[in-house]
Amino acid sequence: MRWDRLFADLEAGSDEVAAEERDTLVAELTDEDWGATAWLRLLGGRVVLEVEGDHRVEGALRSRGAEVLRIASAGHDVVVAVRRVVAVTATGPRAVAPGRVASRLGWRHVFRQARDEGEEVEVRRGTERPLQVSVDVVGQDFVRVRAASGALTVVPFAALTAVRLPH
């Protein structure tokens, strides 16, 4: 009888050790998984983006790439520079990862499309006042825009925080 009790105690102790090892492994794997997850992969559904320059963009995520996010908002689309996002709230499931081509679309694609469609856009550059302009020329790392007055302004992509486009 003493042997039975001794073996029962040993088995119970080994079950506890196995459970602790399993829990530790699960925690390590979870940390490893989160450690390999970029914040862009968390986006999906409706999002609220806090953007540098005290700018807030709210709407449905339409597309995401390494350089820009496109959000469908009330009556227009807003394209936001990924590197200018300072906080995110997402209320939907994770978005499907973009394909190779879509993930590489950036500012040049956005501005060429606006130029080709003859759309006027609102360009935001940090805390500066937004520019209401049409796209004149799209360069490698800049866009040249034309104000209603006809004045031309060159805006480096690095200065952009967001661009509002009509639907």
**pLDDT 10s digits, 20-65:** 766 666 666 667 777 777 888 888 889 999 999 878 999 999 888 8
The vertex-130 CA angle with 125 and 133, nearest 5°, equals 105
111: pLDDT confidence band, cut at 50, 70 and 90? very high
Centroid of chain to Cα 165: 18
For residue 40, the surrounding DSSP H or E stretch is none
pTM for the full predicted model: 0.74
**Do residues 46 and 91 make contact, with C-beta atoms less than 8 angstroms apart?**
yes
Nearest to 71 by CA among 89, 83, 59: 59
